[in-house]
Amino acid sequence: MAKSAESKDSLASDPRWGRAVVVGGGYAGLVTARVLADHFAEVLVLERDPVGPDTGVHPHVPQGYHAHALLARGGDVLERLFPGLRSELRELGAPVFDYGERISFLLPTGYAPRDRVGVPIQTCTRDELERRLRQRVSALARVRLLPGTRCETVTGSGPGRLDRVRHRGPGAEGPTEVTADLVVDASGRSTSVDRWLGDAGLPVSGKAVVKARITYTSASYARPPRDHQDFDIAYQMTFAPDVPRGGVVLAVERHRWMSSLFGFEGHVPPADDDGYLDFARSLGNPRLAEQIKNGTREGEIHRYTNPGNEWRLHHKNPRWPERLLAVGDAVCLFNPVYGQGLTVAALEAELLARLLRERRAGTRDLDGLSRAYQRAAAALIKVPWTLATSSDLMWAPGGGQPRSARFAHWYNRQVLAVAAHDPDVWARFVRVLNMMAPPSLLLRPSVIAKVARRSLTRRPA
């Protein structure tokens, strides 16, 4: 594979630091390695699965077989990090379209308007996205991807730091230990960071947990040869507590539909063809069942259960070690129904790139970077976390939710009810959903006035 444009940019200037080690070679690890290659002479990416440049999803990424949403802002970040990626995916048949025009979106309050909103997005499988990123990153001269390599532990070369990585490759008689200028935990939800901290005599970071047990059942379908629809996404949104079932079909590369059906708690989509179609038919948006019925399934039907949201509060750990930082699911695991994870990981990589550039320009070393990064990442995570958990808290039986969560959930429902009949409010909602604008865009006086009028007239949602 020819060297990509980003690899040439990485080599345009001498690296400032020696070695970085990324623990985990999935999506978050790959985008982070891309950033590190601009600043370090060597970037080692340890991936426990035996992946190659052409590998897409792999065994330790079970959620990879399900529909993924790369929000508009995340797509923009990836295009900056990997120039030409969008066109490369489009050549494979992954469509690029306006979010408002090409989506059949069933809100809990009715169908969303089908008007242009000025937010372009692209739909593709996680499998193809990760394959393309792995090919790009593998081509970088400063990156070494070590497949089939397990990180045994991370220790410190001195007090208050974790910068030594002990790993074991396939067939190795013993482990190898390397000292790094920076270690990145991108090992996902199975991270061993609590053990690393405990073994070093450091306090384990606290966690914020909001349970919302959701099960995904997913399959890919080849579309009929002359299948032309007026949408590229058909979606039914779940909404506590009255809409526990939902689903999505995405038009993806190679003329296929990627389908994921999901349900909270006991609403588990079946993993057999008949049961799967019956579940789709139970939804209010008939377009999902139509595409499943008309398509030809390729591969297996996969099921995955996510217990909810979990945020490791590293930014509040008073003794968080030097030279270690965490990205992606290793720091914050989101309920996947909101489609935030891929975009947040891309934004974290962009954040790290900015902090490294600032230190490089100021001729500063890396001491203090890990804590500065975790604080800045927490500020980045806070908005999507609040949006997701304020809704997920409402699934809990018996009430008792914080007043702020109850109000946010009520207000969201009123906004959705207005948006179903108001293209301007819908466009605002789409921008917030895609992280192109802050939630305050839905708190402008014009929106509040529309919500108040609706609430006072008590028009049913």
> Phi first, then psi: what are they for 245, rounded to 5°?
-115, 145
Q: Which contacts (CB < 8 Å, 24+ apart) does range 356-362 have? A: 356/16, 356/35, 356/36, 356/38, 356/39, 359/16, 360/16, 360/39
Cis peptide before 307 (omega within 30 of 0): no
> What local confidence, expressed as pLDDT, does residue 59 receive?
80
pLDDT, tens only, 374-419 = 999 999 999 999 998 988 899 887 777 888 889 999 999 999 999 9
> What local confidence, expressed as pLDDT, does residue 3 receive?
40
> What local confidence, expressed as pLDDT, does residue 63 receive?
77
Residue 43: both structure tokens together: 């970037």
């048949």: which residue's tokens?
93
Q: b/e map of 225-247 (b: 16 or more CB within 10 Å)? A: eeeeeebbbbbbbbbbeebbbbb
> What local confidence, expressed as pLDDT, does residue 9 receive?
42
Quick one: what percent of the chain has pLDDT higher than 90?
81
Instruction: Specify the pTM.
Output: 0.94
Q: What is the mean pLDDT of each run of 10 residues along the chain (461 residues)?
A: 43 80 97 98 96 85 83 97 98 97 96 97 96 97 97 96 97 94 96 98 97 92 95 95 95 97 95 98 98 97 91 98 98 92 97 96 89 98 93 82 90 96 97 96 97 81 48
Report the distance separating Cα 461 and Cα 453, nearest Å: 13
> What local confidence, expressed as pLDDT, does residue 460 receive?
52
Report the distance separating Cα 341 and Cα 387, nearest Å: 13
> What local confidence, expressed as pLDDT, does residue 53 receive?
85
